[in-house]
Chains A and B, each alone.
Chain A
């Protein structure tokens, strides 16, 4: 034993010297590519967001000037079209996030609970059906969605069966909340909302909700991502101990009660993951807009990601485009940190809860 460890240690020091070199050799392709196509690009774009580069020549050439926070000021408080466009894109995306994240989290958890039953016949088929939309590309699914939600399309056909006159989906810029308010007779905003504004658009405009067109895209996001997140929940459910659930059952807790006080607390880390991934993903809406609506109708499907692209590549305002991209970057990072904080583990109460459950289990099995 001792001889072996000794020789191993001797070899180890020799190996370790080789390992240093090998370690760098093995990671060098990764470092090269991440550095070249991620780190340097981000730094370069950061420079562009502080410069007046117009798209001609290299942004690093001597004729490009440092303009400080001008680009950021233009898009967040300029009072002009740049600010208004940014404000509109932020409103659109905020509504998208608010609706997609909770619904996709709840739906994927619901699907996972449905197909997790071991006695379920054909659960593989159901899992496959729910997961399949996740493997298709966003481009293909958008093409399909444009057809399904066209004016004389499948969705409106189905709606007509139950006597509903479907909207013009991708051509309808009306906000969903405003449409509903209009139904109950409120057609104009109160003075307090119309007179004050944020990012160049009035609070009344902020309250409009997603447009009907954006609503179709919201449904699409839920449709395509719920399968992926269902798999995450399924994996987590495998690790949820059956013991606690059974203890709850012995205590006479109903299925609904057991879900809320036994299963869900154990799924907390996965809920955190799904919500965070959802938040990160939903602030990056680009492919669907590029493929489908290009921001139309009435700019109501404009998102910061697409606006950043359009401003730079089509409008040739590279400084503005980069500034929007970096604002988006900061939003996503901040949201991630906030989520981490909001859903952080609170160790003491949880342990108490567990202890209480455990003592109840012992009582239950003793009785």
Chain B
């Protein structure tokens, strides 16, 4: 009973304080300094990407002589023409797209199924399975380079789409996110459905999944970004040029394994195109990404 009164105290103080505090920090000079700081920081964070785009439209010579200007003196699409018409770049892009699509679809399904089971279904060994997920999350990815290669060889799926896609289909962190989400929403609706006689999978598919939309968006973003940007797994799971993904191809281009000279416009153009899909995804779901943690807590 005493709690509500205690809580109301700060609320009463609040308006008076904000005006006082506000006026104190809102001195014109203070405000100006704050914005100056923010703008210069933002410039530092954004400028490199502007330079990247500008340079991709420059000639090799201009990129070397005047790296900093944002407007090329001679506009040229040479780098892009080279990438799309005279290199394996389109193939790399296609490979990345196929792998990303398959991985994202598979992950959304498997991860939400596992998360649902761990949150809602009572079965013997559930604690053990969850302990496994937590333990697996602690295993650092780079430690798995040699191990994954060995197993893919042993299974006979080295250098194939199966070897590229299958190991990425489940991500323990995603299972963790889905489990937490399902625990945060009330179970009454689905319980009702199941009492009405719907099977577990039916309930999951037509009632639970639609309710889990926000968490599914999170998983989709994480899987898309994760598999599109993945490099090390493709290095150890493939060797033939036909299976090269964007990350692997561009990395080899950058480290000089495929080219001579600096060719900065070409390299920067390839990196820029590689960034477009994740950038588009980011801007579509910007609100969701920026509020992910907030939403999960409010859940």
Does A143 contact B267, Cβ atoms closer than 8 Å? yes
Does B201 contact A22, Cβ atoms closer than 8 Å? yes
- Alpha-carbon separation in the docked complex, A284 to B293 (Å): 25
Does B200 contact A18, Cβ atoms closer than 8 Å? yes
Does A111 contact B17, Cβ atoms closer than 8 Å? no
Nearest CB of A to B250, in Å: 5
The yes or no answer to A20 lying at the interface (CB within 8 A) is yes
- Alpha-carbon separation in the docked complex, A158 to B133 (Å): 48
Nearest CB of B to A233, in Å: 10
- Alpha-carbon separation in the docked complex, A25 to B204 (Å): 13
- Alpha-carbon separation in the docked complex, A286 to B195 (Å): 52
The yes or no answer to A190 lying at the interface (CB within 8 A) is no
Does A147 contact B282, Cβ atoms closer than 8 Å? no
Does A158 contact B169, Cβ atoms closer than 8 Å? no
With a cutoff of 8 Å between Cβ atoms, the chain A residues found around residue B49 in the complex are: 132, 144
The yes or no answer to B91 lying at the interface (CB within 8 A) is no
Q: Label chain A's interface by main secondary structure.
A: helix
- Alpha-carbon separation in the docked complex, A19 to B116 (Å): 12
With a cutoff of 8 Å between Cβ atoms, the chain B residues found around residue A111 in the complex are: 41
The yes or no answer to B37 lying at the interface (CB within 8 A) is yes
The yes or no answer to A182 lying at the interface (CB within 8 A) is no
Nearest CB of B to A230, in Å: 10
Listed stretches A69-77, A322-330, A341-349; interface member:
A322-330
How many A-B residue contacts, CB cutoff 8 Å?
Answer: 302
With a cutoff of 8 Å between Cβ atoms, the chain A residues found around residue B169 in the complex are: 29, 33
The yes or no answer to A197 lying at the interface (CB within 8 A) is no
Does B145 contact A308, Cβ atoms closer than 8 Å? yes
Q: Mark B247-279, 1 if CB is under 8 A from A, else 0.
A: 100110011000000101001101110110011
Q: Label chain B's interface by main secondary structure.
A: helix
With a cutoff of 8 Å between Cβ atoms, the chain B residues found around residue A41 in the complex are: 144, 147-148, 150-151
Does A290 contact B255, Cβ atoms closer than 8 Å? yes
- Across the interface, A137 reaches (CB within 8 A) one of B64, B151, B274, namely B274
The yes or no answer to B77 lying at the interface (CB within 8 A) is no
Chain B interface, number of residues (Cβ within 8 angstroms): 107
Does A147 contact B67, Cβ atoms closer than 8 Å? yes
The yes or no answer to A359 lying at the interface (CB within 8 A) is no
The yes or no answer to A140 lying at the interface (CB within 8 A) is yes
- Across the interface, A36 reaches (CB within 8 A) one of B124, B151, B255, namely B151
- Alpha-carbon separation in the docked complex, A231 to B293 (Å): 8
Q: Mark A258-295, 1 if CB is under 8 A from B, else 0.
A: 00000000000000000000001001101100111110
- Alpha-carbon separation in the docked complex, A177 to B197 (Å): 71
Nearest residue (CB) in B for A247 is: B10
Nearest residue (CB) in A for B43 is: A129
With a cutoff of 8 Å between Cβ atoms, the chain A residues found around residue B292 in the complex are: 231, 235
- Alpha-carbon separation in the docked complex, A44 to B154 (Å): 10
The yes or no answer to B194 lying at the interface (CB within 8 A) is yes
Within A283-335, which residues are at the interface with B (CB < 8 Å)? 283-284, 286-287, 290-294, 305, 308-309, 312-313, 318, 321-322, 325-326, 328-329, 332-333
The chain A residues found within 8 Å of chain B, CB to CB, are 8, 11, 15-16, 18-27, 29-31, 33-34, 36-38, 40-42, 44-45, 48, 58-60, 111, 114-115, 119-120, 124-133, 135-144, 146-148, 150, 152-154, 157-158, 223, 227, 231-232, 234-235, 238-239, 242-243, 246-247, 249-250, 255, 280, 283-284, 286-287, 290-294, 305, 308-309, 312-313, 318, 321-322, 325-326, 328-329, 332-333, 336, 365
Kindly list 19 other residue pairs between chains A and B, CB separation below 8 angstroms, not including A135-B281, A143-B254.
A22-B200, A23-B123, A26-B116, A27-B117, A58-B153, A111-B41, A114-B41, A132-B46, A132-B49, A136-B229, A139-B251, A140-B272, A144-B51, A147-B267, A154-B68, A223-B45, A235-B294, A313-B146, A328-B142
